[in-house]
Amino acid sequence: TMSGWFEDVFGFKEGSYRSTRREFEVKDGGNTLISKRNQKRFHIGPFSTDNVETLRQKLYDLKKNAVQPEKKLGSMKFKNIVGNIVTITKNPENKGAVFQAASQFNCLEMVGPKVT
């Protein structure tokens, strides 16, 4: 269910920050999140606050170092779109697309490390 998505995924109801955090374990050098309740594993990868130029450089380096760039990276394209994320994700033309929507809770809207 939409209201119980957290419990559906992680095997328990979301509580306070501290109690919820105790229900998880991070392994593999910070790359895997494990729910202690249902033992489900999630690849979380490293957290970084790269600027656009750094992201472009990382993509360039991946392409340059890939044996077969078209197979390693696929046909992924990046766009900066301003609009209503609900409308955008419901558009049938966007089937299979991946979206990253800004949110104050995941550090995507912060203009700097000292801004909250």
Q: What is the pLDDT of residues 8-57, one digit of tens each?
A: 999 999 999 999 999 999 999 888 999 999 999 998 877 777 888 998 89
Tally of domains within the chain:
1
Residues linked to residue 43 through DSSP beta bridges, in sequence order: 32
Task: Give the domain extent around 36.
Answer: 5-43
pLDDT for residue 25: 97
Specify the pTM.
0.49
- Does the residue 39 lie in any domain? yes
- Does the residue 72 lie in any domain? no
Main-chain phi, psi angles of 43, to 5 degrees: -75, 120
- Does the residue 24 lie in any domain? yes
The answer to whether the CB of 35 falls within 8 A of the CB of 28 is: no
Distances (CA, A) of 13 to 36, 44, 97: 13, 20, 29
Largest pairwise CA distance in the chain = 46
Main-chain phi, psi angles of 32, to 5 degrees: -130, 130
- Does the residue 10 lie in any domain? yes
18 Cα distance to chain centroid: 21
Residue with tokens 């119980």: 4
Q: Is 26 helix (H, G, I), strand (E, B) or coil?
A: strand
- Does the residue 19 lie in any domain? yes
- Does the residue 23 lie in any domain? yes
